[in-house]
Structure 1
Amino acid sequence: MLTVRKSSERGHANHGWLDSFHTFSFAGYRDPEWMGFGALRVINEDRIAPGAGFPTHRHQDMEIVTWVLAGALEHKDSLGNGGVIRPGEVQRMRAGHGIAHSEYNASATEPVHLLQIWIEPDTDGLEPGYEQIAFAPASLQGRLRLIASSDGREGSVTIHQDATIHAGRLAAGDRVSLALAPGRRAWLQVATGRIKVQGYPLEAGDAVAIRFESGTKIEALEASELVVFDLA
């Protein structure tokens, strides 16, 4: 069964410095039908103005994954980690029993476009932690590349949950298959471009929940970037 979540149906908040679309209920946006999908709790598509960002604030008991689509994001946290995240790099911050961090656009002239993802951990009160991994551009092209997993396999960051995240960049005409083991479900987020899933057209910001299927076929109608979640 495929359930489409259209981009235009998402929650939206424009604060001037931040233009954010909420796939699931978040902050002042509440929709009881879209509170999350399994352990996947948040997918926010954020555009942050040059030089602006989130001042230091705290999180607890959440696996927070950042995937930058364009531009650069500067990170600092209470563990002493700091750095800049660019397209093709994944950041995982384990909030655990508590962590404070800030996220700012690293450019004074160009906006940064990103997906902020929250996954509920399978255990509360974990020790906070941080990972940032860069992937070779070729490893993301024409396929779905593993970027996060419970065991860190294939060079992915680790998340404390029975879940995986794949990302891929497809050229027009590229076709990929998504396989699902029995009892698993998937969420496919179209980050950029246009694709077809089982022949159904989807645009940037659209998503599809996949349940009770052994897999699905994906075709890019133009250059596109996808993020796919495999969940219990």
Structure 2
Amino acid sequence: MITIRRSHERGHANHGWLDSYHTFSFANYYDPEHIHFRSLRVINEDRIAPKGGFPTHPHRNMEIISYVVSGSLAHRDSLGNVETIGRHGVQRFTAGTGITHSEFNPSATEPAHLLQIWILPEQQGLTPSYEQKVFEPADRPGEWVKVASRDASDGSVLIHQDAELYTTILAPGEQRTYPLRPDRHAWVQVVKGEISLNGHRLDAGDAAAVSQEEKLLLDTEPGAEVLLFDLA
């Protein structure tokens, strides 16, 4: 079963410095049909204007991942981390018992384009932590590059949930398959380009919730960048 979530159906908020599309209910956008999918709670596609950003604010009991599509993102938190990540950089922090942080676009000229992802943790009250890495899918053509996982396998960042996040770039005319175990579910998010997913066309910003499918088959004529969540 594949359920399509079209880009134009998402919630939208434009604050001037921030242009954000919400896949699931978030802030002032509420849709009872789209609260979460499995443990995946938030996917916000954010475009932050040059020198714009989120002031210091708190989080608790959430696994939060930022995936930078283009531009750069600067991070500062109450654990003492002061970091900046660029294209295909990933930052992960466990909010746990409580953390405050700020995020902003350090560039004076270039907007930052990123996906903010929240995953519900498997346990409350975890010790807050932070890490970041760069994953360049173009360096591993034909592969699903593991970005986040419960066991930090294959160099991925650690998340406290039975979930795995992959990224891949498909060249024009390329295909990619992903076997899905009977007890697993998938969320496919098109970051750039367009794909056919098991016969369903998805454009940039579109997504699909997948259950009870043995295999995912992605193909593309123009090329595409895709995120795939493998979820319990």
TM-score normalised by length of structure 2: 0.97
Shift of 1:86: 1.1
Distance in 1 between residues matched to 2:117 and 2:7, nearest whole Å: 16
- Change in Cα spacing, 1:231 to 1:109, as seen in structure 2 (3 Å) is same
Query: Which 4+ residue blocks in structure 1 deviate beyond 2 angstroms?
Result: 135-143
Distance in 1 between residues matched to 2:81 and 2:223, nearest whole Å: 34
Q: Residue 117 of structure 2 aligns to a residue in which SS?
A: strand
Q: Residue 202 of structure 2 aligns to a residue in which SS?
A: strand
Shift of 1:140: 4.6
Contact 2:138 2:169 in 1 (8 A): no
RMSD: 1.0
Task: Tell me what 1:100 maps to.
Answer: 100
Shift of 1:199: 1.9
Percent identical pairs in the alignment equals 55
Task: Tell me what 1:45 maps to.
Answer: 45
- Change in Cα spacing, 1:131 to 1:100, as seen in structure 2 (3 Å) is same
Distance in 1 between residues matched to 2:95 and 2:140, nearest whole Å: 27
Distance in 2 between residues matched to 1:136 and 1:11, nearest whole Å: 29
Task: Tell me what 1:161 maps to.
Answer: 161
Distance in 1 between residues matched to 2:147 and 2:56, nearest whole Å: 26
> What aligned pairs does 1:24-39 form with structure 2 within 5 A after superposition?
24-39=24-39
Unaligned 5+ runs, structure 2: none
Contact 1:139 1:145 in 2 (8 A): no
Q: Residue 80 of structure 1 aligns to a residue in which SS?
A: coil
Deviations 1:198-231 (A, max 9, x none): 1221100000011011121001232311111000
The AA in structure 2 aligned to 1:12 is H
The AA in structure 2 aligned to 1:103 is E
Q: Residue 8 of structure 1 aligns to a residue in which SS?
A: helix
Shift of 1:136: 4.2
> What aligned pairs does 1:1-232 form with structure 2 within 5 A after superposition?
1-232=1-232
Q: Residue 154 of structure 2 aligns to a residue in which SS?
A: helix
TM-score normalised by length of structure 1: 0.97
Distance in 2 between residues matched to 1:39 and 1:159, nearest whole Å: 12
Distance in 2 between residues matched to 1:196 and 1:223, nearest whole Å: 11
Deviations 1:72-115 (A, max 9, x none): 00011000111111112211011010000000002010100000
Deviates more, 1:58-67 or 1:214-223: 214-223
Unaligned 5+ runs, structure 1: none
Deviations 1:174-213 (A, max 9, x none): 1100111111100000011111111221100000011011
Shift of 1:159: 0.3
Contact 2:192 2:205 in 1 (8 A): yes
Shift of 1:137: 4.7
